[in-house]
Amino acid sequence: MLDAGLIADSPAISMPGLIEPSVNLSTVLNALANEGFGVWVVGGAVRDAIIGINPHEFDLTTNARPDEVMAIFEDNIPTGEKFGTITVRNGEDFFEITTLRTESSYGDGRRPDEVEWGDSLAVDLSRRDFTMNAMAYDVAREILHDPFDGRNDLDRGILRAVGEASRRLSEDGLRIMRAYRFMDRGSAGIWMPDHELSAALLDCKHMLSHVSVERIWQELSRIVIGENASSVLLKMTNDGIIQRILGCDPMPDEFEWIMACDNDLEVRLAILMNSMSSNEVEDSLRSLKAPKKVIKRSKHLHFLLENTPHPDESRIYRAVVADEVKAHAMMIRARGWDPSVIESSLSLPSEVKCLVDGIWICERTALIPGKRLGRLKDWLHRIQIERDLKTKDEMERVLCTLSWQHGNEDEWPRVEWP
């Protein structure tokens, strides 16, 4: 049995039933306890349980060393062994088990210089980022350790650093991004940082340069799809953070459009980056190492944001914009513009194959295969879509009206919109 006085050296209050463990979680907790180790649920799961949200994952902390954790659980992945984290699988659930750590210096502005295993829950909690993330729950004893009054901050809706805010943000620049992410409280609104943390966010923003672009992207993308994204993005803009990470000067007046759109990441990025050119959008997302398909789609939607089809163009618009018509309509509606032409195009065909091929054109024009032939096929294809042609005879009649013998083929119409 764990000697509570040694390791669980942080004041505790009784909170029966705060976390009702699943069978999988119980098995993992018991396996550690049976070997005489202390084990607590920490971080997000405790925070979420207190505000009545079902935790989506369970992070555990224990005084067992990583090699001891691995010896107890066969099905383990040493995800961050150097930092004391072993991911353990039980059934379909994964648990991140991190060994208690002591304080150490942070020379590189992101990671501790060296990680030392600790024997004190109090010390471990003191190196966590925000008071609401610095609580631990002992499932067996049904007690909560909350040394920094995280519960009270949750009640008041306040985000507060553990310890001196500017020192904590200077140790690890990632905490800046985490602070903005945690401001979004979902259906309960926004947690505002207390005065000290607010000031530290402004003073320490240079620390972001110590954070990898991958981690910045990871946090930013979560912020952008948040339920209260516009409020958080507004604060990030007022604090000069968005400018620093995206290299653009966003237009806060447009943030309300973000909220009028579903939490579609690329739609929201397109709006957020509306002040940039298409190429800047691409460069900026690329420098954050966003996934290729996110970059491509954001750029496409960003382009659509400023373009709406004329009713006469509905067919070509629908064929070109294809799957993104709904996202486009959503953005246009969010701006307060009329999406009816866009929406009515949904009844038109989106995938229109060209009725004729190169051989068919060769036979009628004596053009040899090459660029001019390809461009002529494009031109015909466009007319086919615009006029809703259905037969090769109709295509032939069109071909007779085109002056393909003359002119620069680069100027011929293409299947593109606008």
If you count them, how many residues does the chain have? 418
Radius of gyration of the chain from its Cα atoms, rounded to whole angstroms = 29
> Binding mask 158-197 vs ligand ATP (x if CB under 6 A, - otherwise)?
--------------x-xx--x-------------------
174 binds, among ligand ATP, Mg ion, none (CB under 5 to 8 A by kind): ligand ATP
235 binds, among Mg ion, ligand ATP, none (CB under 5 to 8 A by kind): none
Q: How far is CA 148 from the centre of its chain?
A: 29
Specify the residue for token string 């925070």.
47
> Binding mask 313-352 vs Mg ion (x if CB under 5 A, - otherwise)?
----------------------------------------
> Binding mask 58-77 vs Mg ion (x if CB under 5 A, - otherwise)?
-x------------------
382 binds ligand ATP (CB under 6 A): no
Euclidean distance between CA atoms 68 and 62, whole angstroms: 10
Strand 136-138 and strand 143-145: pairing?
antiparallel
> Which span (85-93, 129-137, 273-281, 328-336) binds ligand ATP, by CB under 6 A?
129-137
What is 210-268 written as a DSSP string?
A: GS-HHHHHHHHHHHHTSTTHHHHHHHHHHTTHHHHHH-S---GGGHHHHHTS-S-HHHH
Residue 89: in which H helix or E strand, if any?
Answer: strand 85-90
Indicate which single residue of 44, 78, 157, 358 sits in contact with Mg ion (rule: CB under 5 A): 44
Which residues in the 24-43 window bind ligand ATP by CB under 6 A? 43
Euclidean distance between CA atoms 140 and 156, whole angstroms: 29
153 binds ligand ATP (CB under 6 A): no
List for the chain the helix, strand, coil content (%; round to 5): 55, 10, 35
129 binds ligand ATP (CB under 6 A): yes
Contacts with ligand ATP: how many residues (CB under 6 A)?
12
What is the four-CA torsion angle of 35, 36, 38, 41, rounded to 10 degrees?
A: 30
358 binds Mg ion (CB under 5 A): no
Which residues in the 58-77 window bind ligand ATP by CB under 6 A? 59
Q: Tell me how far, at minimum, the Cβ of 315 lies from ligand ATP, in Å.
A: 45
List residues binding ligand ATP (CB under 6 A). Answer: 43-44, 57, 59, 128-129, 133-134, 172, 174-175, 178
